[in-house]
Each structure stands twice: as C-alpha cells, then as structure tokens.
Structure 1
Amino acid sequence: MPRFHCPTPLAAGLVIDLPAGAARHVQVLRMQPGMALTLFDGRGGEYQAVVEQMGRSDVRVQVGAHDPVEREPVRAVHLAVGMPANERMDWLVEKAAELGAASIQPLQAQHSVLRLQGERAQKKQAHWQGVAVAACEQSGRNRVPTVHPVRAFNEWLASQPAPGWMLSLRDGAVPLAQVKASGEVTLLSGPEGGLAPAEEDAAIAAGWRPARLGPAVLRAETAPLAALVLLTLAP
C-alpha cells in the first residue's frame, strides 16, 4: 500500500488535502477515489486513509484509524558527517534514513570538497530533508530524521553539550563493535580524506572518543552507515 508523509498533525476522521509532493505521487500512481493509502505525520504510528477526491493538482483524502506501530531502532543514533561530494551525500542521507538515523548534521570540514553557504546551503538542506522523507515513505519508518542546516565543523563542535564517538584511523581508537553504548549516541565522521588532524585533536580535547570500524578504509559515505548499523544493534 502506498505510504506518504504528511507534515501536519493527523487524526482519525479528518478530511485533508495531501501535500503537493504526495498529491503528485498519488496522481502518478493513477489512484482513484475509494483507493486506500497510508499516512504518517512523524509523531509516531501511521494512519489508514482513503482517497475521496482527485483534482488536477490536488488530492483529498479521509483519514482513518491510527495504528501505533513503531519501527525505530532501540537506540537513537545521531550522525554528524563531513559532507561527501557530488551525489554521495544524497545517497548517505537516503540510506541513513532507511537504517534508522535519528538525525543528520552536515558538516563543513577542512577536507570537505563540497562547499556550501547561504541560499545554496539552505536549498541543499531542504533537498536532503526531502530525500529523508522519501526514504521513510519507502522503508516503513514513521519518524523522519531531521537534516540540520550545514554548519562549520569548529562551530558545531563548540556547541555540543556532550561528546560522542568519532570515527578515526589513529592509534588507540576503540573497535566500534566493542562499544557499549547507552541512551542516545552521536557519531562524528569525516569527509573524503577524513577529519584533519587538528579537527580530531580538537574533538578529543572536547571529550570525543576515537573509534574504528576495522582494517579497511571505507568511503566517506560508507563509514558512517556501517557505524550506524553497529551502534543501533549494540547491546
């Protein structure tokens, strides 16, 4: 059954017009009045709904019963990632949303190839948030991870209330598979070429703990996803 995110609060019995993106998708699927779909608003659970009316550019549905089903990982993992270039950040956001990331913080690091600021950064953030929504619609998640505005690494680091884990290849890094995490976890990962030594030193000085995935050097868009799986499954 098609699933769509609705950013406004839902309740059984409401009759609403779907957001523009969801309405276009319903029309592409050639759905007709009386056909069923699933809606979720990000507050937990999902709603059954029925198409009531199809217009040229709008779709009206009646919201039905709420199902309180949850499909979130036991542990909330927040990703802070040095943005990889080209389409790789899109791929990272999509897969992180599918795998259960609680939020995604794009970072401008010293080695970052992708440089964003101003209106361009805002447009990219909105695009990535849309990628996360689509991934949740496809994967069955009912809570959409927030993609935060792009921030400079040093500014972001100084604003963090509590340290987390940092992917690193330096000597002494703890195997991430051995990490016993409790509660929410924030994971820091660098862009292509990793975090600069000065950035790693600053993070460690702020209490961040270096961790490694294994002997292989993974791509900037692959490493945080592998770590996300390990942390969400850690006892």
Structure 2
Amino acid sequence: MPPRLYLGVPLVEGVDLDLPADVARHVQVLRLQPGDPVTLFNGQGGEWPATVRQMAGRQQVAVTVGPRQAVSRELARRVTLAVGMPANERMDALVEKATELGVASIQPLQCARSVLKLSGERAQRRQAHWQAVAVAAAEQSGRTVVPTIEPVRTVSEWLGGLGSNEAARHVLSLADDTVPFAIVATAPATDWLLLSGPEGGLEAAEEAMARQHGFAPVSLGTRVLRADTAPLAALAVLGLAGDAASAEGVA
C-alpha cells in the first residue's frame, strides 16, 4: 500500500504540488524516489493517488495529483468524546487510538479532579500537538476525515455551550442507576456525545450538571477502567454496534 500523506489544502487531479516541508521530510525518511506512488488526503473525505515527480535537497518534494477516489472508512455514527484529560503521555495515546477507532471530534476537559492542568498559551500548544497526533493517526489508519481536537474547556463551559441537538448523550458513571452501555449502543441515533472523567472520575457536582444537560449514566461493566481506557472502550462498543447496524441496513 502506498504511503498516505495528509495535505490540508484543496486537491485537484492533474495538478503538480510542492509538498510542505514537514510532509516532504516524511517522504525523504521513507526513502521514496521519483515515480513512486503515494496517496494524498485532505481530511474532507476521499483520497487522491499521486506520484512523486521530483525531489531536490532534503525538503523539496513535488507530486502529481491523480483522480479523486470516493472512498470512506468512517464510522456509521458521528461520535464526540469529551474527556477529562489524563496526565503525561496518556492523552497523546488516547487521541491516537480514538482516531484509529473513528472518533469525529475530541473535547479535552479540565475537571475538578484533573491531574493535568492547562490554560492559556500552554493549552493552545497542547491542542495543536494533539491535532498533529490525530493527523498522523488518520494517515496510518486509512481514515479520510481527520477528527477535530477542540480547545480545552472546563466541564461547565462545555456543557453550557452545547445548546440543543439530536445527539444521544451519555456519561460514563459508577453510580447505582447506570445502564450497560452495550445495550444503549444499539440505539439508532447517528450522533453521539460521550462524557468521561479524568483520574478519579467526575466529581458528583460535575456528573449532576451533565445529567441536567441530558446525559444519561452508563457503565462499561464491573471493572474500574483507567481514565484513558474507558472512553476508548466505549468508542469501540459504539463503533462496532453502529457498523453492524449499518451492514444490516438499520442505522
């Protein structure tokens, strides 16, 4: 399979493009040569076969764009993960794996129990870093759409800005009144909002606020999962259920 390269620009058949420096460096690292095939995508759906036309120096690579291929490897459902940011490199891994599993967008949340504290310019730098992680994961996994990494917000800021929509809303909870998510995931909704807390979980007041905004409590079983594992498990359950329903012509 030819290497996949992300270019955040319009792609048109027959056009010769000079690759941005970072993408050109990637081509050099792969030891590609003029005449070698690559696959381009811009995150807006579809992909374009292309051919390396010319290479000069270490950062100059030109390609010729081929005809657009109307392929899609996206989930049958649009899923937004709102997650209390886990600390250290765990958020990087969460973004990477969620992208591979088909998430549409990720909302990093600053929660009362969050170990990782971000604000201002530091939060903006981390958002840009996580967006780059999502791009790399989309290249690797064959996705044609790159998930959006939203700016860091508090739980109250995010909930207050949601407004009304048709999305199914669920919060991962350890409360006694939860419903197994494997059952909930069979519902026919196409848009989903999943809220998951940080290390130590959401505080009672945060979960109560989420419930007031229409988030129904769900569980993933009797085991206590880590903050970076639980949302990925929920996303996998939801994606598999949606793909199965789509294959049956239901979803």
User: Which TM-score band applies after superposition, normalised by the shorter structure?
Assistant: over 0.9
Q: With structure 2 as the length reference, what TM-score do the two structures score?
A: 0.91
Structure 2: distance between partners of 1:192 and 1:181: 31
Cα pair 1:5 1:40 within 8 Å, conserved: yes
Q: CA deviation at 1:231?
A: 1.3
Cα pair 1:80 1:105 within 8 Å, conserved: yes
Aligned-partner residue type, residue 204 of structure 1: R
Q: Which moved more, 1:214-223 or 1:14-23?
A: 14-23
Structure 1: distance between partners of 2:152 and 2:128: 11
Q: Which moved more, 1:219-228 or 1:181-190?
A: 181-190
Q: Which moved more, 1:225-234 or 1:91-100?
A: 225-234
1:88-167 aligned at under 5 Å gives the runs 88-162=90-164, 164-167=169-172
Question: 2:42: which partner in 1?
Answer: 41
CA shift digits 1:41-68 (9 cap, x unpaired): 1111110001111122121111012111
Q: CA deviation at 1:21?
A: 2.0
Please tell me whether residue 182 in structure 1 is matched to residue 189 in structure 2: yes
Structure 1 gap segments, 5+ residues each: none
Structure 2: distance between partners of 1:233 and 1:91: 21
Question: 2:12: which partner in 1?
Answer: 11
Structure 2 gap segments, 5+ residues each: 246-251
The secondary structure found in structure 1 opposite 2:66 is strand
Cα pair 1:76 1:232 within 8 Å, conserved: no
Structure 2: distance between partners of 1:55 and 1:107: 44
Aligned-partner residue type, residue 164 of structure 1: R
Q: What is the RMSD of the two structures over their aligned residues, measured on CA atoms?
A: 1.0
The secondary structure found in structure 2 opposite 1:53 is strand
Question: 1:24: which partner in 2?
Answer: 25
The secondary structure found in structure 1 opposite 2:67 is strand
Q: CA deviation at 1:233?
A: 2.3
Structure 2: distance between partners of 1:65 and 1:16: 14
CA shift digits 1:152-195 (9 cap, x unpaired): 11111111124611000101111100011411101000000010
The secondary structure found in structure 2 opposite 1:166 is strand
CA shift digits 1:53-85 (9 cap, x unpaired): 112212111101211111001111110000000
The secondary structure found in structure 2 opposite 1:182 is coil
**Percentage of pairs with the same residue:** 59
Aligned residues: 235
Structure 2: distance between partners of 1:83 and 1:55: 42
Cα pair 1:181 1:231 within 8 Å, conserved: no
Q: 1:75 aligns with which of 66, 69, 77?
A: 77
Q: CA deviation at 1:20?
A: 2.3
Structure 2: distance between partners of 1:131 and 1:184: 24
Q: CA deviation at 1:104?
A: 0.5
Aligned-partner residue type, residue 217 of structure 1: V
The secondary structure found in structure 2 opposite 1:48 is strand
Question: 2:173: which partner in 1?
Answer: 168
Q: With structure 1 as the length reference, what TM-score do the two structures score?
A: 0.97
Structure 1: distance between partners of 2:237 and 2:50: 36
